[in-house]
Every structure is written in structure tokens, then in C-alpha cells.
Chains A and B, each alone.
Chain A
Amino acid sequence: MRTDFAFVGVMLVTAALLMGVTLIAASLLRPKKPSKAKLETYECGMETVGDTWVQFRVQYYILALVFVLFDIEAILLFPIAVAFNSLSFFAVANVILFIVVLLIALLYAWRKGALDWE
């Protein structure tokens, strides 16, 4: 069990090392002649106007909230799915009720226009 997850760690480190070596090798091989024009932000040829890191539209927040709702639902449902074969009728009825409540929540969000994108 512990060694199972140890491999994931080894894999992360190995992948990071391999990709890091690739990046370093490329940085040794490639030419490096920076100039002022080259280092400008690539937008449309002229100097950029205004700050990039500005406020963004609120729709993204709303979608993210709906996503969090369903992500948590999924986390709760995965253990149930693993143990599904040994569950009783009553337990499954409860789970279905839980999912239906979430479906109603989705329909409510839909009705309120949270899912509309203009």
C-alpha cells in the first residue's frame, strides 16, 4: 500500500528531472540575443495599454461555484459506488434521493440564469 504510492512520488520526481534536463539542455543549445523589442509583450505590434491583471467577469465565479458543488458530490459518490454491490435497497434509495436533490439544485441554478453565457 505504501510502496504503491511511493511509485507515484518516484514518477513525479523522475518526470520533473527528465523535463528539467530537457529545458536545461535546450537553454545551453539555443542562441540568446535579447533585445528590447524582442522582450515586449506580444499582443498586436504596438505597446500594450493598461494593466493585464484586471478584474474578470463574474460569470466565471458562478460556474466555479456550481462546479464545486458537483465536485463534492462526486467525492461523496465514489465510496458509495465502490461499495454499491453490498448496499441495501434502502441505502440506494437514499443515495438516489441525494442525487435528485442535486439535480433540483442544478435546475434551480439553470432557472436563475447561472448557466447562461452571453
Chain B
Amino acid sequence: MNVINDLLKIIGDFIAGIINSIFSFSPFLADVVTMGLAAVILCTFAALSFMGLTYVERKVVARIQDRVGPNQAGPLGLLQPLADGIKMFTKEDTTPAAADRWVYNLAPLVIAVFALTTYAVLPFAPGVVGTNLNVGVFYIIAIGSGSIVAIIMAGWGSNNKYALLGAFRTVAQLVGYEVPMLLNVLPVVMIAGSMGLTDIITQQTTLNGNPGIPFIVFFPLSALVFLISGIAETARSPFDLLEAESEIVAGFHVEYSGMKFALFFLGEYVNALAVAFVFSTLFLGGYAGPVLPPYIWLLLKAAAVFFVFMWLRGTLPRIRVDQMHNMNWKFLVPVSIVHLVVVMALMKLFVTNPAQVQANGGILVTPGVQAAILFTASIAILIGSLVIAARRARIMRLQEEAVLEQRRAENIAAVSV
């Protein structure tokens, strides 16, 4: 047992031991108190990381856009989240007279609760996980959909036309981008043979004779599409159509202020961080890594993924509604389906387990060779689909230009007559 590597687990076991000895008269009560404490710790971690992320994101995006960012509160503006918190707490909160009070007031609570509950299944180190559900991936996607309900509640309950428009866009976007997300989790589940996040990580380590190759090497296309749909699912720029300031003011949370607005913000950030965590768990090997302790590895990977989110936000302009839908239904979904079919066929053709070869046939290969084959296939599908999409786009552009040219000629003819 390495003390530093298992630090989180040792602390956790120590606290659980104390609670068990205090509540030794009732094991049930001890269980409930232990679970409650773990839940409080997870929620606190999520809320604190939200406070930190607001600062980091503003600073990073500011640097990308050649601005300074927050620099007034405390050294380097480090106390900015605290100042924001005080402001949120003491700001007057109005409920519009026309609003549906119950739905309006419950919506921020719902979005924050669903966002925090995602953290129940994230493994932070070996043995350090809220609960190791055997349907982990499925649970995360299911709970993630809860934010859609909250956004519809907010949009509908506000009784404001902009808010309702934002809510409609949300339904179409969040619901649509769930499809490529699901389709690209499937290859990972197939190769890991389990939906539990801990099992998926174990498959990416060198324990128990596993190959120890992160799944991003097997499925680079899946990782890419998962990242894109993850950004769209958490409604971050460039997919932040549901709160497009220039079109619909602020979308579904126009009417909110004070603490309720802060809860929406919290839900958004906590969800985005959860997507970063899930991405590093599914594709980058989670807490597995050499030298450094596991929890540091997980935080480093999640931070790297979140930096990509901030980078995209600082760089890309917001896309249009029709572009958003076309991107999803006409590109990501068909490509994901083709990829899924190819992966299924290849994984049945090139198997790594000798017992399976005897049972079902197929060609026995080492995990490294299997990874190479799947990687090549993924990249081939990606390049092929991009080429097809580019050709189609060119044809459509030429058609549009021909129509414009014709109109221009007609205009000139009309003027000259």
C-alpha cells in the first residue's frame, strides 16, 4: 500500500471507521450517515470546482481574446468568485407577476440537483467512488437529460417569449445531440464488456493482463464525436444557441436573477466538468497513469479536456440553428452509425481472446494489433466522411451561386430596359 497513491481511500476508510464506531448500535444508521457524508463531500467538491472554474474560464478566455480578465478582487483577481458569490446572495430576486410560480421557482433547483447527482458514479481513484453502479455510463446519460427538463420548466414557467424560444431550441439541440453521444459510447462499452465506469478504467490499465491502451487509440472518431456532442449537450459555445444574447437576450434564464440564476450557472458548469470527467474516464484511461497518484492523473486529464472546452469557447463564433441541426442529423449521426457497424464487424473478425476464437471463429490478434486495425478504420471513416461532406457542400454552394448569378443577370436586364 502506497500512502500517497491511496491517500483518498485511506482518509475515506478512516472517516467511515469513526462513523461506524459512533453508530455501532445501528449498522443501518451508520450506512446512511456515511453515504450522506460522502454525498455532501461530492456536492461540495462540485460546487467548489464550479467557483474555481468560473474564475479560470474568465481568465483563460480573456487571455485568448487578448484581454486581462478579472483582476480587481484580491491578487490577480483570485477573490472574484467570492465577490460573485456575495453579490448573488444579496441581489434582489424578482418573480415576474405573469410567471407560473411553482415551475419557475423549482427549475433552478432541478437543474442543480441533476448536475450534482452525476458525480455519484465518477471514480476518482481505485476504490474511491460514490457508488460503483454497473450501469454507470447509462446512468450519466440518463441523469444528464434531467437538465433538459429543468430548462423547459424555466422557459415555460417564465411566461416570457424569449425564454420560451430558448427552451424550444434547447429541446431540439440537447435531445438531438444525445443520439451521437449514445452511439459513440457503445464501442467503448463493447470493448470493455461493461457499462460500469470502474470496469471501463480497469480495462485501460495493465492490471489482470489487460493491454493498458486508452480507448481513444481504439476509437479516435468516437472520442471526437463524443467531445463535440458533449459540448453541445452542456450548451457551451459554439453551441450556446439556447442563450444567444444577440438573438433571444439570454434564452431560458432571462427572468432569473440572484441565487436562482447562480444555480443555473452552477448546473451548466458542473455538467460541463462532468462531461470532461466522463470523457477522460471513457477515452483517456481515467485515473490510470504512471508515477503520479491516480486522483492527480484524473484531475489533470479532466483539466486538459476542460481547457479544450474553454479554448473552443474563446475561438469559435456561435453557429446558426440550421447549421447546428445539419451538423448533428446529417453528419454526426450517419457517421456514428457507419462507424458502429464497422467496429462491430472488425471486432468480431479480429478477436483477442483465444476462448472466443474457439467458440465463434475469427482471427486471433494481440490487443495492440486490434487497436491499430480499429484506429486505421476510424481514421479512414473520418477522412472519407469529411471528403463526402466537402463535395456535397461544394455542389450546394455552386447551385446557390448559380441562382444568385441568374438573379443578377435578370436584374441587369430589367435595369437596362
Contacts of A29 in B (CB 8 A): 89-90
Task: Establish whether residues B40 and A92, one from each chain, have CB atoms under 8 Å apart when the complex forms.
Answer: no
Task: Establish whether residues B179 and A41, one from each chain, have CB atoms under 8 Å apart when the complex forms.
Answer: no
Interface string of A95-116 (1 = CB under 8 A from B): 1100110110011001000010
Among residues of A, the one whose C-beta sits closest to the C-beta of B337 is: A103
Question: How many A residues have CB within 8 A of the partner chain?
Answer: 71
Contacts of B89 in A (CB 8 A): 25-26, 29-30
With A8-B133, A52-B160, A67-B176: A42-B93 Cβ-Cβ less than 8 Å: no
Q: Which of B43, B93, B260, B362 is within 8 Å of A14, CB to CB?
A: B43
With A11-B42, A56-B168, A99-B337: A42-B97 Cβ-Cβ less than 8 Å: no
Task: Establish whether residues B344 and A92, one from each chain, have CB atoms under 8 Å apart when the complex forms.
Answer: yes
Task: Establish whether residues A81 and B88, one from each chain, have CB atoms under 8 Å apart when the complex forms.
Answer: no
Contacts of A43 in B (CB 8 A): 160-162
**How far, in angstroms, from A26 to B130 measured CA to CA in the complex?**
29
Task: Establish whether residues A19 and B334, one from each chain, have CB atoms under 8 Å apart when the complex forms.
Answer: no
Contacts of B183 in A (CB 8 A): 70, 74
- For A6, A26, A86, the residue with the greatest tally of chain B CB atoms inside 10 Å of its CB is A26
**How far, in angstroms, from A8 to B35 measured CA to CA in the complex?**
9
Interface string of A13-31 (1 = CB under 8 A from B): 1111011101101110111
**How far, in angstroms, from A53 to B165 measured CA to CA in the complex?**
11
| Interface residue SS majority, chain B | helix
Among residues of A, the one whose C-beta sits closest to the C-beta of B195 is: A82
Among residues of B, the one whose C-beta sits closest to the C-beta of A114 is: B329
**How far, in angstroms, from A70 to B138 measured CA to CA in the complex?**
15
Closest Cβ of chain B to A41, distance in Å, is 5
> Does any Cβ of A come within 8 Å of B164's Cβ?
yes
Interface string of A51-88 (1 = CB under 8 A from B): 01100100110011011001100100110011111111
**Which of B74-82, B222-230, B251-259, B371-379 touches A?**
B251-259
Closest Cβ of chain B to A39, distance in Å, is 4
Closest Cβ of chain A to B42, distance in Å, is 7
Q: Which of A10, A26, A63, A83 is within 8 Å of B172, CB to CB?
A: A63
> Does any Cβ of A come within 8 Å of B326's Cβ?
yes
Q: Which of B47, B138, B139, B344 is within 8 Å of A96, CB to CB?
A: B344
Task: Establish whether residues A7 and B259, one from each chain, have CB atoms under 8 Å apart when the complex forms.
Answer: no
Contacts of B127 in A (CB 8 A): none
Closest Cβ of chain A to B412, distance in Å, is 29
Task: Establish whether residues B190 and A117, one from each chain, have CB atoms under 8 Å apart when the complex forms.
Answer: no
> Does any Cβ of A come within 8 Å of B49's Cβ?
no
**How far, in angstroms, from A30 to B269 measured CA to CA in the complex?**
24
Q: Which of A26, A86, A89 is within 8 Å of B258, CB to CB?
A: A26
Among residues of B, the one whose C-beta sits closest to the C-beta of A50 is: B161
Q: In chain B between 385 and 402, which residues have their CB closer than 8 angstroms to a CB of chain A? A: none
**How far, in angstroms, from A33 to B38 measured CA to CA in the complex?**
39
Task: Establish whether residues B171 and A64, one from each chain, have CB atoms under 8 Å apart when the complex forms.
Answer: yes
**How far, in angstroms, from A10 to B93 measured CA to CA in the complex?**
30
| Interface residue range, chain B | 35 or more
Contacts of A14 in B (CB 8 A): 36, 39-40, 43
Q: In chain B between 135 and 168, which residues have their CB closer than 8 angstroms to a CB of chain A? A: 138-139, 156, 158-162, 164, 168
**How far, in angstroms, from A43 to B335 measured CA to CA in the complex?**
41
Contacts of A23 in B (CB 8 A): 108-109, 259-260, 263
Q: In chain B between 88 and 107, which residues have their CB closer than 8 angstroms to a CB of chain A? A: 88-98
Among residues of B, the one whose C-beta sits closest to the C-beta of A9 is: B35
**How far, in angstroms, from A20 to B25 measured CA to CA in the complex?**
31
Task: Establish whether residues A89 and B186, one from each chain, have CB atoms under 8 Å apart when the complex forms.
Answer: no
Contacts of A11 in B (CB 8 A): 39, 42-43, 116-117, 119-120, 130
Closest Cβ of chain A to B102, distance in Å, is 14
With A43-B162, A53-B156: A115-B130 Cβ-Cβ less than 8 Å: no
Among residues of A, the one whose C-beta sits closest to the C-beta of B164 is: A52
> Does any Cβ of A come within 8 Å of B207's Cβ?
no
Task: Establish whether residues B258 and A30, one from each chain, have CB atoms under 8 Å apart when the complex forms.
Answer: yes
Task: Establish whether residues A84 and B333, one from each chain, have CB atoms under 8 Å apart when the complex forms.
Answer: no
> Does any Cβ of B come within 8 Å of A46's Cβ?
no
Task: Establish whether residues A26 and B195, one from each chain, have CB atoms under 8 Å apart when the complex forms.
Answer: no
**How far, in angstroms, from A2 to B148 measured CA to CA in the complex?**
28
Contacts of B288 in A (CB 8 A): none
Query: 4 more A-B contacts (CB under 8 A) besides A15-B112, A78-B186, A82-B195?
Result: A11-B39, A15-B43, A92-B344, A106-B334
Which 3 residue pairs spanning A and B have beta carbons closest together? A26-B259, A14-B39, A7-B131
Cross-chain pairs A/B with CB under 8 angstroms, 28 sampled: A6-B35, A7-B120, A7-B130, A8-B133, A8-B139, A10-B36, A11-B116, A11-B117, A15-B117, A16-B109, A19-B109, A29-B89, A30-B93, A31-B92, A36-B97, A39-B96, A43-B162, A53-B159, A56-B168, A63-B176, A71-B182, A74-B186, A81-B187, A84-B347, A92-B345, A99-B340, A110-B329, A115-B326
